[in-house]
Structure 1
Amino acid sequence: MSDPIADWIDADPDPETRAELANLCADELADRFAAPLSFGTAGLRGPVRAGPNGMNLAVVIRTTAGLSAWLKDRCLGGSTVVVGRDARHGSEKFAVAAAEVLAAAGFSVVLLPRPLPTPIVAFAVRRLRAAAGVQITASHNPAADNGYKVYLDGGAQLISPSDREIEASITRVGPANLVPRTPVTPASEELLDLYVDRVASLPTGRSRTLRIALTAMHGVGGETAVTALKSAGFTDVHSVAAQFDPDPDFPTVQFPNPEEPGAADAVLALAAEVGADIALALDPDADRCAVGVRGPDGWRMLRGDETGVLLGEHVLASAPADSLVATTIVSSALLGKLAEARGARFARTLTGFKWLVRAGEGLVYAYEEAIGHCVDPESVRDKDGISAAVVAADLAAALRAEGATLLDRLDDYALEFGLHAGDQVSRRVTDLADITAMMRRLRSELPAELAGEPVEATDLAELRGQSRTDAVVLAGSTVRMVVRPSGTEPKLKCYLEVVVPVPDRSALPAARESAASRLNLLREFAEAL
């Protein structure tokens, strides 16, 4: 009888991972072969290691062969497919292998010339009217991980049932060493230049007087971001030198995600040192952008919801009437209130840009609280940290010319719509079963009130259609909490929001104290799950 483990080792085209598997004990081998990586958020993501449930050459080759067969089944054989990569461990050989498998299958492959931001693949798929795009990246995951992100026609991330169909197609692929491969010559820099030109055209304000502090978080966005900002006229850019060049080990940050506590400390320190007007932090593949500001107590990072409403109104100011803006079920309610007041349409979707960019016709802006912003869906139908950085700089420069700041604009929103204060509690686990247990306990003991206010519970797992997901919403008139497992990390996430009326500007300090107190009550509930 055939031994599937021995067969896999024999067919692994990478001598390093063959040797790795050959030296594992029986228990470790069983773990590596327990189950293959599955398609989650737009593709695969997992640790770089040998075996079916890791990111390695054999998995990438078989995944690409499955994707190729799926595209051919839809009469897309011979179409253009774009392949890009970040600078993580294994990214170069994974991208080259993916390109070679696609080329051997008869596709016209555009292999981007070097490590570049993920949004450039989304841009290129749309620009070239490609059938698909593949980016080798694990975005903001820890250094040990890598991934395989798939875009389909139009440059949007794949959704169900396509992901399940591709997964099924992969299971029908034979041994990795028998999958045909044809060498591919990397493309020129033309697509990068076109992308930068498009991003540089986004600012609508007249002022370019702005001092910017920037970090690339050891990722691939530094050079492109600086080029785009300078092409847009923002030439006073100061970068965190120690984090500017790509480094797959991310030596100065424990988790290379600007959302994580402490991750943005270096750029905030640089902003204070150079007297910057704004701080910008990209994640490693530059599809996310966090914004830092100077407040009364020093520099701090804005929450994703704060940046989201700021950029949302800035985009709407130059958008056609009745345009659509969108955010997700876990984000603040503020953008919806602002859209109604500004005569725009508003939509909420499930988490993830695969849903946000499909929110409806006339979409001009979408964001999720996890510092993802789509400011130019006409060109990039995904979150894009580079274009978000340029538009944030445009807004900050316009406000600076008026003698105002981003925090002043947020105070204006508090007066108009009430102070919307939010926070997030993330429960990181080592055993995914713990997340299942926490969700089960919550569903069995749904609270009747939160922070002293009656709430109603909506279990989104009980809904039908595309709104169905593993999440529970607890909402009252001025409090809201959404609890859900993370789609990309071993975390249970709790999204908190309270709204406090603000009758006049003098009432802001008291409103902030009240909001902080009520958020603490929500936080205590979340931490006790």
Structure 2
Amino acid sequence: MSDNNAAQWIQALAGSIQDWELEKIKNEDELKDAFSKDLSFGTGGIRALMGIGPNRMNVLTIGRASQGLANYLLKTGCSGETVAIACDSRIHSSEFSEVAASVLSANGFRVALFPNATPTPLLSFGIRKMKCCAGVSITASHNPKEYNGFKVYGPTGDQATDALAQAIQTEIEQVDFNEVKRTDIEGGLDNGTIFWIPESISTAYLDEVCGQAHGIPLGSIKAIYSPLNGTGFNLAAKLLNRVDANWEVVAEQKDPDGNFPTCQKPNPENDEAMRLGSKQLKESGADLFIANDPDADRLGVVVMHGGDTIKLTGDEVGLLLLDFISRVKQCEGAIAYTTIVSTPLADILARKRGFELRRTLTGFKYIGEQMDALEEDGQIGSFLFGFEESCGYLSGTHVRDKDGISSLLLVLECAAYHKQYGLDLIDALAGIYQELGFCMGRQISFELTGPAGRHAMASAMRAIRAQPYNAFEKAIRVTDMYDYSRGTHMPTSEISQSYEDLPLLPPSNVIELRLEDDGKIILRPSGTEPKLKAYLFAIAQSGEDAKNRLDEMETALRSRLAAHFKKEERRLRQNGSRNIVIRWLWLTAVATIQLCSVKAVP
């Protein structure tokens, strides 16, 4: 795009952009990427950098997305119904939510606005409670401060899955920026077409969550809590006080702040985001540090064990919670859900405890979709638990999305349950490993920015598909490849379950490589960020052997992809393209289990 086009965007966005956004497009690569394409739906809705241009989140692209959503809803017979809108604590989030409200109101919808920065699970609950036809969350979840997003929810309170997202995307693509309708927010508030969501919705949410408690006394557990400068504090504080929890907050991270001053990436999977809370945990002598991400749908856990702090992975927390629930609830006929990239130990646990585990594609929206299917069949009571490896968990049917607030209570109950037997969560996890076997996972991301990066990511997936059995060094032998791009039936822990009776997963750009030692390597491009994600699982006789095997797998994978990217970079240079920018990102620690003092889990 030309500088004249950029100048037009700057003029159109005057008053709604900040100096750092103007500085960004002075960089030639940034300018090129900002005008390289239009925004589109990914795994978690539309999520992108904020800034100037059609490939950035700004009031014009938010307006266009809102108009596309309005057009879709009008075509499906929802005229005059209510749409709920929430936002997180990010830069521009409140402004973007008002733009969405203005557009939807101008198109004849009643708009219910949460008055403050709001946890995403409360939006899902509110949609269901108020019987809305749709919902919008302005959030980029756990991404760095420069990002924002436009996440759409359906009438059952779950995220837009593939068919709905594609239908909305088609409508958005037909909207010209000049065709976006707008109305005055204040006028809408005066005439009632726009209204503030009352406090009674959050009260009803807390009633539901507290009603799901398992009766485990929490007095023995002291917890440190942080919302990571996001939306979680007010709702979490009310919940913790209701259940008489013993807790304190990380003061520097208590208040909403879209600059996220204590960490560059407010993701509870990252050590940096958990550093302050872990320090407070060690100094206070508490049992746990628990943190929500900025929109409070995810949750991270750090445990005090043997005088040191140990951060659990998302898989480890999911396994602990699934094990705990299976101990305190009736599991016969129950169904739990996780994703194809979550720990294989969940299947073994399901078979031992007598419930079924089913696996969806990556993204909690697919678990929400399966909950809807259970409800349609009159079987919602069979839902036991859902989790994904990226720190998302759900117990209960009050929402259709991962819920970091209700999971806060669940983690405390799990810790209190085990403490009554003299165990902390590290001891409990070691006991699960001793019972089920040692399966350790590691997640690696390869960040590839800009148009050239996107091309390199796609070509890497093509190369692995073309030669899966010769993809790595001899130490890593691939025995089978499962290509989810062709569609496949949902994996289940039930060996006797008829394969054809299971739901068919929609096609997805995911490759699963199964190794001769029962390990796995799963590759998929992120749907929301410029990353190629790899999930490694190793099964061995001991934790040390599993760690060593993961090291071998990681070395082989890095070597294979680095060689491919260098080859691709040379080819692009010969064609006059700029370099691919590649960064290796650690998202998940290796093993967190210390097996020197294993205690039996009762």
TM-score (norm 2): 0.80
Mapping 1:335-374, distance limit 5 Å? 335-359=346-370, 361=374, 362-374=382-394
- Report what 1:292 is aligned to: 302
- Report what 1:401 is aligned to: 420
- Report what 1:506 is aligned to: none
Q: Deviations over 1:283-313 (max 9, x none)?
A: 1111100111123471111111111111113
1:480 and 2:514 matched: no
Displacement of 1:197: 2.4
| Letter of the 2:167 counterpart | E
- Larger deviation: 304-313 or 462-471? 462-471
- Larger deviation: 104-113 or 194-203? 194-203
Alpha-carbon separation, structure 2, partners of 1:176 and 1:319? 57
Alpha-carbon separation, structure 2, partners of 1:125 and 1:44? 19
Displacement of 1:368: 0.7
Q: Which runs of 5+ in 2 are unaligned?
A: 186-193, 375-381, 489-503, 562-602
Alpha-carbon separation, structure 1, partners of 2:70 and 2:34? 25
Alpha-carbon separation, structure 2, partners of 1:287 and 1:494? 23
- Report what 1:254 is aligned to: 264
- Report what 1:459 is aligned to: 483
Contact map agreement 1:213 1:238 (CA 8 A) in 2: yes
Alpha-carbon separation, structure 2, partners of 1:14 and 1:70? 29
Contact map agreement 1:255 1:263 (CA 8 A) in 2: yes
Contact map agreement 1:9 1:21 (CA 8 A) in 2: no
Alpha-carbon separation, structure 2, partners of 1:208 and 1:189? 27
Alpha-carbon separation, structure 2, partners of 1:214 and 1:302? 15
Alpha-carbon separation, structure 2, partners of 1:106 and 1:267? 46
Q: Deviations over 1:242-264 (max 9, x none)?
A: 11111111122121111123321
Alpha-carbon separation, structure 2, partners of 1:11 and 1:409? 59
Identity of matched residues, %: 34
Alpha-carbon separation, structure 2, partners of 1:413 and 1:522? 24
Q: Which runs of 5+ in 1 are unaligned?
A: 502-510
Distance 1:296-1:248 versus aligned 2 partners, 3 A rule: same
Displacement of 1:319: 4.7
Aligned match for 1:164, one of 142, 166, 184:
166
- Report what 1:508 is aligned to: none
Contact map agreement 1:77 1:107 (CA 8 A) in 2: yes
Aligned match for 1:220, one of 202, 211, 231:
231
Distance 1:226-1:498 versus aligned 2 partners, 3 A rule: same
Displacement of 1:488: 2.0
Alpha-carbon separation, structure 1, partners of 2:23 and 2:445? 38
- Report what 1:110 is aligned to: 112
Alpha-carbon separation, structure 1, partners of 2:555 and 2:31? 41
Alpha-carbon separation, structure 2, partners of 1:432 and 1:128? 41
| Letter of the 2:519 counterpart | V
Distance 1:268-1:23 versus aligned 2 partners, 3 A rule: closer
Aligned match for 2:312, one of 285, 302, 311:
302
Contact map agreement 1:207 1:401 (CA 8 A) in 2: no
Distance 1:4-1:71 versus aligned 2 partners, 3 A rule: farther
SS in 1 for 2:196: coil
Alpha-carbon separation, structure 1, partners of 2:82 and 2:558? 48
Aligned match for 2:243, one of 232, 237, 244:
232
Q: Deviations over 1:20-77 (max 9, x none)?
A: 8899679676643331111112421111112221111111122111111111111111
- Report what 1:436 is aligned to: 458
Alpha-carbon separation, structure 2, partners of 1:18 and 1:219? 21
Mapping 1:306-317, distance limit 5 Å? 306-316=316-326, 317=328
- Report what 1:324 is aligned to: 335
Mapping 1:378-389, distance limit 5 Å? 378-389=397-408
Q: Deviations over 1:362-392 (max 9, x none)?
A: 322111101111122x111111111111101
- Report what 2:432 is aligned to: 413
Distance 1:12-1:134 versus aligned 2 partners, 3 A rule: same
Contact map agreement 1:95 1:136 (CA 8 A) in 2: yes
Mapping 1:1-20, distance limit 5 Å? 5=5, 9=9, 12=12, 15-17=15-17
SS in 2 for 1:358: helix
Distance 1:456-1:484 versus aligned 2 partners, 3 A rule: same
- Report what 2:446 is aligned to: 427
Contact map agreement 2:468 2:478 (CA 8 A) in 1: no
Q: What is the root-mean-square deviation of aligned Cα atoms in Å?
A: 2.7
Alpha-carbon separation, structure 2, partners of 1:214 and 1:13? 38
Displacement of 1:111: 0.3
Aligned match for 2:410, one of 384, 391, 396:
391
SS in 2 for 1:392: helix
| Letter of the 2:110 counterpart | S
Contact map agreement 2:90 2:145 (CA 8 A) in 1: yes
- Report what 1:507 is aligned to: none
SS in 1 for 2:214: coil
Count matched residues: 516
| Letter of the 2:398 counterpart | S
Alpha-carbon separation, structure 2, partners of 1:39 and 1:366? 24
TM-score (norm 1): 0.91
Distance 1:8-1:43 versus aligned 2 partners, 3 A rule: farther
Aligned match for 1:71, one of 66, 70, 73:
73
